[in-house]
Amino acid sequence: MTDLSLTPDRDAPFEAAQVLSARAPGFVPQMVIVLGSGLSGFAKHIENPISIDYVDLPGFPAPSVEGHIGKLHLGYVGGLPVACLAGRKHYYEGRGMGAMTPAIRALKLAGAKTLLVTNATGSLRHDVLPGRVVMITDHINLLPGTPLIGPNDDRFGPRFFSMANAYDQELNQRLIALAATLNINMASGVYLATPGPNFETAAEIRMMARMGADLVGMSSVPEVIVARHCGLRVAALSVVTNLAEGLTTEELSHEHTLKHASVGAVDLTRLVKAF
Ligand code: HPA
């Protein structure tokens, strides 16, 4: 059953877009960047930033998990106007699948064209080790639903829509070329989203590998679905923080995730700045 109390306020994106144009008049973000676990340090690379607390933006999520803050940074990276979401909501936090929906839609209303998602993941491949940056080429959604369950909001997109080319091939070609130029040994792979908050069992990881997953994580897929629904182009980059359960004897923890995310964040930051 869908809990309708968790369905986001349909008008919140319009109200949030009004706050944005009042706080940053004339600013039109071209790209939205979602900063994942431990990657919020990217915010210091934004020039002339205007930072707005999520609590001041209708529909934006109130933060909770350690390592996840709740601020929107508007500014420039390499001359491009960007909006960085520092802090995302995860399904496991209990706010349903749609917690990020108003934020993505508000930034679409503000003029954004592209969504760049970053996250931290476990690797299902022995050749893709912690600290490595991985470009996501596709996903498998094992979350219990999607953020678009419930009445469709025709103002943003159609009821039914394609997820072909969800991870934009042209943007991915650009990322591949940039990674080569920057000497970053970027891998690519399929991301599988699981509800969490527990890490997986070894048997689950074996199942996921057989399903075709290269990476496992607890985020991102809701944002990507909402972005595709409203016509944003999407690219997504992961930092591998660990080998998935069963591939390693190391015990998984959130602290472990944050520690290894900061190692990979160096390459990720270079790549995102260039992109
Ligand atoms: N599983 C799920 N989510 C994760 C992992 C993992 O091993 N590592 C980082 N996020």
Report the atom number in ligand 1 closest to the C-alpha of 194. 2
User: Shortest CA distance to 236 belongs to which of 106, 151, 134?
Assistant: 134
pLDDT digits 0-9 by tens, 4-15: 456 667 899 999
3-state secondary structure 100-130: CHHHHHHHHHCCCCEEEEEEEEEECCCCCCC
pLDDT digits 0-9 by tens, 17-30: 999 999 999 999 99
pLDDT classification of 266: cutoffs 50, 70, 90: confident
Looking at residue 125, its pLDDT comes to 97
Looking at residue 81, its pLDDT comes to 96
Tell me the best of 117, 216, 221 to mutate to test the pocket of ligand 1, counting ligand atoms within 8 Å of each CB and taking the most: 216
User: Shortest CA distance to 191 belongs to which of 25, 56, 36, 26?
Assistant: 36
Looking at residue 65, its pLDDT comes to 54
Q: Alpha-carbon distance 207 to 205, whole Å? A: 5
Looking at residue 6, its pLDDT comes to 63
**Among 90, 139, 229, 260, which one carries the catalytic annotation?**
90
Look at the pTM and tell me if it is higher than 0.85: yes
CA-CA-CA-CA torsion sign (180, 184, 190, 191): negative
Q: Alpha-carbon distance 176 to 3, whole Å? A: 41
Q: Alpha-carbon distance 270 to 256, whole Å? A: 22
| Residue nearest atom 7 of ligand 1, based on CA coordinates | 122
* 1 pLDDT above the threshold of 50: no
* Ligand 1 in reach of 122 Cβ (< 6 A): yes
Looking at residue 168, its pLDDT comes to 98
* Ligand 1 in reach of 123 Cβ (< 6 A): no
